[in-house]
Chain A
Amino acid sequence: MRRYRNFLELVRSFEGDSSPAFIFGDDKKCLTRGQLAEEIYREEASIRALGPGNEFIVTDHTPGTIIRIIAAVMAGCDIVLADEGMTDENLMELVRLARPDRIFATDEELRDLLTRTARDADRSPAEAADTESEPAEETAEGAATSLSEAPAKAEAPVKAAGTDALVHASAGLYQLPISEPGEEGRLIFFTSGTTARSRAVVLTSRSFLASSWSGQSMLPCGPGDIILCLLPLSHVFGFVCSLLWGLTYGAAVALGRGARHMLDDCVHFKPTILPAVPSVAQFLMMRGALNSELRVVLVGAAPLHESSVRMMRQMGIRVYLGYGLTETSSGIAITQDLDNPFDLYPCPEADIRIEPDGEISVSTPCLMEGYLDFGPDGGLKPVENGRFYTGDLALMDRQGALHLTGRKKDILVLPDGGKIFCPEYEAELADLLGTSDLALILKNNRPVLAIGGTPQAAANRLFALIESFNRTKPLAGHITDILIMETPLPRTATGKIKHWEITDARR
């Protein structure tokens, strides 16, 4: 099994290959690997012609966007990936942070909006107001706009005082150390952030291809397989498991046709492998939307319910659950199709340890280069000693299988040293109050309950119920206050409550 070091090596292996790389659209068009290589080389040349720069790419499931991602990295551009489903405001905020040289989005209206945002971020408010209606300048390719004419941008890199790394003079992405000539650019993904703000994670083609290799070692795919790509490519699970893994090891990648086809894409493309998040896998199964050719469902991002695993197995589908993080370029452990479907086995080269406090730490070739801090004193914050502390808690059994038990940040540490495991408290409170739209946060070292989607008029009833709840708990663990929000609590794309946003709102 070949292991590739960068995208260029991978794309070279596609040359002259007539097997399908992508299947897409209502008429199931096919792009062969050989054609894909040619398209990537052409795109790379056009990006190089634009000159050095960083790119902000709004991801979707079109071949053009995927070609752009690979070509930009091969051309030495650092790229920030964002999802087309994000709100305009969130996309604009990311653009203001990253201050890229170019924006790539297939949606013209969105591209213009983000281009204006990026230009305004480099100008004074008065200058920005003067040019509000200025149209974005198109590149030759049409789907990207170049910001190279924007003022106040340093064109040439300068040496930062006190460091050996070369950095550009302006803020934003330029704080990344510049790649060596001939090196590929980096890919910057954002974590979803449930207990902390989203963080920018710097990954490389090398780390992603190492992740594809280790995934292939645990769960092989190959020619004849069709992998259905429904997941967002701005998430590492989607990028690796529904795209890169198949491209690297010979499977065809069927590009999902968008949310409106969620229910019929399986029957349309007839995949043999479906990477999915639990809610999608369950939804498709319950609606009878899984095709008869499907042999593997690979679930990531959250655990799948045992009953769903059982039902899929009864349908002749093997179910694999992956565990990994954005910081590790996707999976570092995966279940096997064995008696216990939840035993996670470490991937090759993933040196996983359980620390004395139960936290999982890992050292792996798939590890990120570091976090990117966009602030004025920011830059790349590398991983110390090559070992990453995941924040997840687990046990490892005698067979070396990993059993996840919770999140370190799910534990509130009280002033008396006592600990509250939030998921247990929250499940008990959800039963008592009849809503799962609640979260426990810490304020002044005491637990506070936040409830969403509830009118203020319900306060007296809630306080009475909490009083009865408190009587069953040690004093230090009593809930001291209730934060009632009429709107639902803020959640991530996968439905997890963003505790940090609630905590911020309390400040």
Chain B
Amino acid sequence: MAKLTRDEIREKTIEIIKRSIPELAGAELTEESAVTTGMGLDSMNFILVICTLESEFGVKIPDRLWGRLHTLGQVIDAIEKYS
């Protein structure tokens, strides 16, 4: 499978997040959006979202990096790095 571009990763990530958290359906998400309190995600739901992203992108982000993903941009960076 061809490697996704950053724009494609961003688009797909936002789509997955909005699907996982229906309250965000109408929200404008940018790379600067905070992925915890800013999106209304508590830490447990954040875990679920990252698990879904890993599964859909077929990547494994090392556990120790999970606590360091604070913005959507950082999530995209991690998916890009470990794809």
Contact assessment for B34 and A453 in the assembled complex, using a CB-CB cutoff below 8 Å: yes
Chain B residues within an 8 Å CB radius of A263: 47-48
Contact assessment for A262 and B47 in the assembled complex, using a CB-CB cutoff below 8 Å: yes
Is residue A55 within 8 Å, beta carbon to beta carbon, of the partner chain?
A: no
Chain A residues within an 8 Å CB radius of B50: 259-260
Is residue B58 within 8 Å, beta carbon to beta carbon, of the partner chain?
A: no
The closest CB in chain B to the CB of A85 belongs to: B67
Number of interface residues of B (CB under 8 A): 18
Contact assessment for A279 and B44 in the assembled complex, using a CB-CB cutoff below 8 Å: yes
Q: Which of A84, A87, A283 contacts B44 (CB 8 A)?
A: A283
Stretch at the interface among B8-16, B18-26, B35-43, B75-83: B35-43
Interface of B is mostly: helix
Q: A260-B51, A279-B43, A279-B44 are in contact. Are A488 and B63 (CB under 8 A)?
A: no
Is residue A474 within 8 Å, beta carbon to beta carbon, of the partner chain?
A: no
Contact assessment for A258 and B43 in the assembled complex, using a CB-CB cutoff below 8 Å: no
Closest CB in chain A relative to B75 CB, distance in Å:
14
The closest CB in chain B to the CB of A277 belongs to: B43
Contact assessment for A488 and B36 in the assembled complex, using a CB-CB cutoff below 8 Å: yes
Is residue A155 within 8 Å, beta carbon to beta carbon, of the partner chain?
A: no
Q: A260-B47, A279-B42, A495-B43 are in contact. Are A107 and B34 (CB under 8 A)?
A: no
Complex: A86 Cα to B37 Cα, angstroms:
17
Closest CB in chain B relative to A426 CB, distance in Å:
15
Contact assessment for A495 and B51 in the assembled complex, using a CB-CB cutoff below 8 Å: no
Closest CB in chain B relative to A455 CB, distance in Å:
12
Contact assessment for A488 and B37 in the assembled complex, using a CB-CB cutoff below 8 Å: yes
Query: Please, what's the 1-or-0 string for A43-76, where 1 marks a CB less than 8 Å from any CB in chain B?
Result: 0000000000000000010000000000000000
Q: A84-B63, A85-B64, A87-B68 are in contact. Are A260 and B34 (CB under 8 A)?
A: no
Complex: A487 Cα to B48 Cα, angstroms:
23
Complex: A85 Cα to B50 Cα, angstroms:
15
Q: A86-B67, A280-B44 are in contact. Are A488 and B34 (CB under 8 A)?
A: yes
Number of interface residues of A (CB under 8 A): 25
Scoring B50, B51, B64 by chain A CB atoms within 10 A of each residue's CB, the highest score goes to B64
The closest CB in chain A to the CB of B67 belongs to: A85
Total A-B residue contacts, Cβ distance less than 8 Å:
52
The closest CB in chain A to the CB of B68 belongs to: A87
Query: Please, what's the 1-or-0 string for B41-69, where 1 marks a CB less than 8 Å from any CB in chain A?
Result: 01110011011001000000011101110
Q: A87-B67, A87-B68, A259-B66 are in contact. Are A452 and B37 (CB under 8 A)?
A: yes
Closest CB in chain A relative to B64 CB, distance in Å:
5
Contact assessment for B38 and A85 in the assembled complex, using a CB-CB cutoff below 8 Å: no
Q: Which chain A residues (266-284) contact chain B, with CB distance < 8 Å?
A: 279-280, 283
Closest CB in chain A relative to B57 CB, distance in Å:
14
The closest CB in chain A to the CB of B63 belongs to: A258
Is residue A88 within 8 Å, beta carbon to beta carbon, of the partner chain?
A: yes
Chain B residues within an 8 Å CB radius of A453: 34, 37-38
Chain A residues within an 8 Å CB radius of B51: 260
Query: Please, what's the 1-or-0 string for A101-123, where 1 marks a CB less than 8 Å from any CB in chain B?
Result: 00000010010000000000000
Is residue A437 within 8 Å, beta carbon to beta carbon, of the partner chain?
A: yes
The closest CB in chain A to the CB of B46 belongs to: A259
Q: Which of B34, B42, B62, B68 contacts A495 (CB 8 A)?
A: B42
Complex: A364 Cα to B56 Cα, angstroms:
52
Complex: A452 Cα to B40 Cα, angstroms:
12
The closest CB in chain B to the CB of A107 belongs to: B64
Closest CB in chain B relative to A496 CB, distance in Å:
12
Chain B residues within an 8 Å CB radius of A260: 47, 50-51, 54, 63, 66
Closest CB in chain A relative to B46 CB, distance in Å:
9
Contact assessment for B44 and A487 in the assembled complex, using a CB-CB cutoff below 8 Å: no
Complex: A60 Cα to B68 Cα, angstroms:
15
Is residue A295 within 8 Å, beta carbon to beta carbon, of the partner chain?
A: no
Chain B residues within an 8 Å CB radius of A87: 67-68
Contact assessment for A88 and B68 in the assembled complex, using a CB-CB cutoff below 8 Å: yes
Is residue A96 within 8 Å, beta carbon to beta carbon, of the partner chain?
A: no
Complex: A83 Cα to B38 Cα, angstroms:
24
A-B contact pairs, 24 of them (CB 8 A): A60-B64, A83-B67, A84-B64, A84-B67, A85-B64, A85-B67, A85-B68, A86-B67, A87-B67, A107-B62, A107-B64, A258-B63, A259-B66, A260-B54, A260-B66, A262-B47, A263-B48, A283-B44, A437-B37, A453-B37, A453-B38, A487-B34, A487-B38, A488-B36
Interface residues of A (CB under 8 A from B): 60, 83-88, 107, 110, 258-260, 262-263, 279-280, 283, 437, 452-453, 487-489, 491, 495
Enumerate the 5 nearest inter-chain pairs by beta-carbon distance, A residue then B residue, closest first.
A85-B67, A283-B44, A488-B37, A258-B63, A84-B64
- Extra contacts besides A83-B67, A258-B63, A259-B47 (5): CB < 8 Å: A84-B64, A85-B64, A87-B67, A262-B44, A437-B37
